[in-house]
Amino acid sequence: MSQTPTPGRVNAKDYSYIAAAMAAGLKKAAHEGRISPGLIPINVLKGACEFFEIALDGIYFGIPLNAVATASRYHIAAEALRRSCGQGIEFRVDLNSLLCCYQKMLDQFCRDKTDRILSIGEVSVARCLATFFDQIVQLGEK
């Protein structure tokens, strides 16, 4: 029996290219302590922002417009976050809070039109976010 894919449903493999490019760009940004246009290709950055927007749709708006798309992306994000943070993440509130923090950073990077020095806090978040995207790549390899 063949399985028909559910519209909106994705797995980590579908985001492997974006995740790998994001991890590389974020590692470079954290190492250099700055973000500049082009450090992360704009379409990759937009794809990552869209991933977070869809994944967090249910958090912000209750019942999402496309529950399948939201649930599948949230599941990928939650699993990658658990793997990148180790045993410290146990509660959904912690997951949601970190994912929202990551989304805010990516949204800021999308708005940055010039070179900008990252704060110490932003460098730390960029490193964690790079590890998060590395975990999505690894999940996609399974």
Angle at 129 between CA 124 and CA 133, to 5 degrees: 155
pLDDT in tens, 25-72: 999 999 999 999 889 999 999 999 998 888 888 777 777 777 787 778
Integer CA distances (angstroms), 136 to 64, 75, 99, in order? 23, 11, 14
**By percentage, how much of the chain surpasses pLDDT 90?**
42
* Domain locations in the chain as residue ranges: 29-141
Give the per-residue pLDDT at 118: 95
Predicted TM-score of the model (pTM): 0.83
Provide the pLDDT for residue 78.
80
pLDDT for 8 equals: 55
Q: Which helix (H) or strand (E) holds 136?
A: helix 120-141
Cβ–Cβ < 8 Å for 83, 132 = no
